[in-house]
Amino acid sequence: MTKTFPGRTRKDPPHEVLRGIDLEIRRGEIFGIIGQSGAGKSTLVRLINGLEPVTTGRLRVGDRDIAGLPERELRSVRRDIGMIFQQFNLFRSRTVAGNVAYPLKVAGVKQPARDKKVARLLDFVGLLQRANDHPEQLSGGQQQRVGIARALATDPSLLLADEATSALDPETTQDVLNLLRQVNRELGITIVIITHEMDVIRRIADRVAVIDSGQVIETGSVYDVFATPKTPEATRFVSSTLRDRPSADTLARLRQVHPGRLVSVRVQDRPGFQTTLSSAFIKRDVEAEIVFGGISELQERPVGSLTFALTGDDGAVDNALSALRADEFDVEEHVR
């Protein structure tokens, strides 16, 4: 699908914000959408939610094609979608319980069924004791928990989280992500999480799409995108969280203390990875010293990269690198 906004004035050209978007989000998964500010993430959320019409193409939510649906039917699509936001968007004048009760009231749920449901939701998010407090008496993480309880009130099958942890500190972020995982695993709710932080994707998502300038430039399992990013943009996002590649400053420092050629090799989850790697150097009398690196685990498989200073005959180093590349090792030489 595509989305184009008209120019602000008649003279301004139309603004094509999303181009050729071709995505499938599967029922029951946690799907991450990552991109820089302005990439078009929020617009995509507004399309999925039926708040903005797509310009061309099709958009199916569940078993309904929502492109071109009349407002009345869109409302019923929206009832099946919960939303949480960066700034929580709670009513300040209502209590915690009042905030969670609100969508139920709108849906016509009468007391005492409403009170019962609110209590169950607050218990689920761990805030039953705070039911009568007002949002400003709660921490940011607790306010987002209220946001989650409110989003779940109408039993949606899809939850859209737009930068839901961007206003939170790292520890609180982890708590909220744990709660979202619980929502997904225990209640079977599909979650679409929009973020500019690769760390959030790494911690929670099953699959991810990287969007850049309104296009999906990469999509796949979180492991695959982390282990073998294919575009410079995805590589940048991955490095921002794994910190497994030396920065330009670090490279300059490494060059001062290590005489050899500096080469980074991406870690792969395959049997004999390390043996094959080291024997490629040993066989050719190339000395390979690890000078930088980071290996971590993702979905219980190793990811990361190792940077070597290679010393030996120049031709032998070239041979070793060619042999590794031929064996599908991802090798990057840091040329001066």
Q: Which residues bind ligand ATP (CB under 6 A)?
A: 5, 15, 17, 35, 37-43, 196
Shortest gap between Cβ of 184 and ligand ATP (angstroms)?
A: 22
Closer Cβ to ligand ATP, 5 or 273, answer by number: 5
What is the per-residue burial (b if ≥16 Cβ within 10 Å, else e) of 120-152? ebbebbebeebbeebbeebebbbbbbbbbbbbb
Shortest gap between Cβ of 48 and ligand ATP (angstroms)?
A: 12
Shortest gap between Cβ of 166 and ligand ATP (angstroms)?
A: 9
Cα–chain center distance at 22: 17
Choose among 172, 190, 191, 217: nearest CA to 39. Answer: 217
Count of beta carbons in the 10 Å neighbourhood of residue 194: 24
Shortest gap between Cβ of 40 and ligand ATP (angstroms)?
A: 4
CA distances from 280 to 209, 316, 323, 325 (A): 35, 10, 7, 11
Q: What is the DSSP letter of 56?
A: B
C-alpha 19/C-alpha 238 separation (Å) is: 24
CA distances from 253 to 151, 201, 292, 305 (A): 50, 31, 11, 18
Closer Cβ to ligand ATP, 46 or 120, answer by number: 46
Cα–chain center distance at 224: 13
Closer Cβ to ligand ATP, 211 or 267, answer by number: 211
Shortest gap between Cβ of 261 and ligand ATP (angstroms)?
A: 39
Contact predicate 147/127, CB 8 Å: no
Q: Return the HEC string of 77-128.
A: HHHCEEEEECCCCCCCCCCHHHHHHHHHHHCCCCCCHHHHHHHHHHHHCCCH
Shortest gap between Cβ of 269 and ligand ATP (angstroms)?
A: 31
Closer Cβ to ligand ATP, 51 or 187, answer by number: 51
Shortest gap between Cβ of 302 and ligand ATP (angstroms)?
A: 31
Closer Cβ to ligand ATP, 181 or 196, answer by number: 196
C-alpha 251/C-alpha 312 separation (Å) is: 20
Residue 142, helix vs strand vs coil: helix
